Amino acid sequence: MIDHFSLGGDLDIRRLGYGTAQLAGQPGYWGPRGPAADAVAVLRRAVERGVTLIDTADNYGPSVAEELVAEALHPYPAHLVIATKGGVVRTSSSAWHIDGRPASLRAMCEASLRRLRVDRIDLYQLHRLDPQVPLADQLGTLAELRSEGKVRHVGLDTITAEDLTRALDLDIVPIASVQNLYNLLDRTSDPLLKLCEQHGIAFLPWFPLGNGALTEDPVCASVARAHDATPGQIALAWLLHHSPVLCPTPGTGSLAHLEENLDAGAVRLTAEELARLDGLTPQG
């Protein structure tokens, strides 16, 4: 199992990263989760443990998560890659409004630059494709931001294999990453994963722990016992073994849970264990 990935061909990252959604309030990633000092401690510990990819978004809070990243980690270590997202506007804990208009994307990106206190965002991901705006216009705006030096690499969130094929065929801006629902118990994005493998594109799975469902799976629990691990650690280890482009960024607001998640990187699954886990859900 390879522990590192070359994001966009020029940013070396450890494949097991950290996602910041859980630093915002629940439900709906709305408002702060708790004292800022707790979030700052988790972020700093993640980097101390060797995390080199921090994944956030402008609408976690909104704005809360990005501001916490800057408070905790700025000035950023040279090896740290900060990824954020834009393209969705929040007006309440349950209201998500897709907005891929060029002027809106530009304004969102520039606001993220200010909150993160950087001149260039390492990975800027379009949080959702806007069906009301031509894809070429959305990608064209990201290409402009990249040519202006405000964005280093571009990614897409919650797409299909067909969407990625369209984006690649348009050839407006290189796609360095995708971010989709994917975990041990939900592999509906397998066609997209295969396309990412073919093109060397990072796949950042969201809900990599199955949103709690893995704790009830007997096969996962059995493998976990054999490694003196938790089912969540086995789920993360499976992702790292399953494909070299999978780069999970599990999130948590708990120091103890952070340590547990990051310890999953040391779990080495046998071929027999991988076969048992692979058999849990259909492959496609």
Active site residues: 60
Q: How far apart are CA 215 and CA 227, in angstroms?
A: 15
SS3 of the chain: helix, strand, coil, percent, to 5: 45, 20, 35
Cβ-based neighbours of 70, under 8 Å, separated by 6 or more? 115, 116, 117
In whole angstroms, what is the distance from residue 94 CA to residue 83 CA?
Answer: 24
Helices (H), strands (E): how many in the chain?
10, 11
The count of other CB atoms within 10 Å of the CB of residue 101 is 16
| Structural contact between residues 247 and 154, judged by C-beta atoms closer than 8 angstroms | no
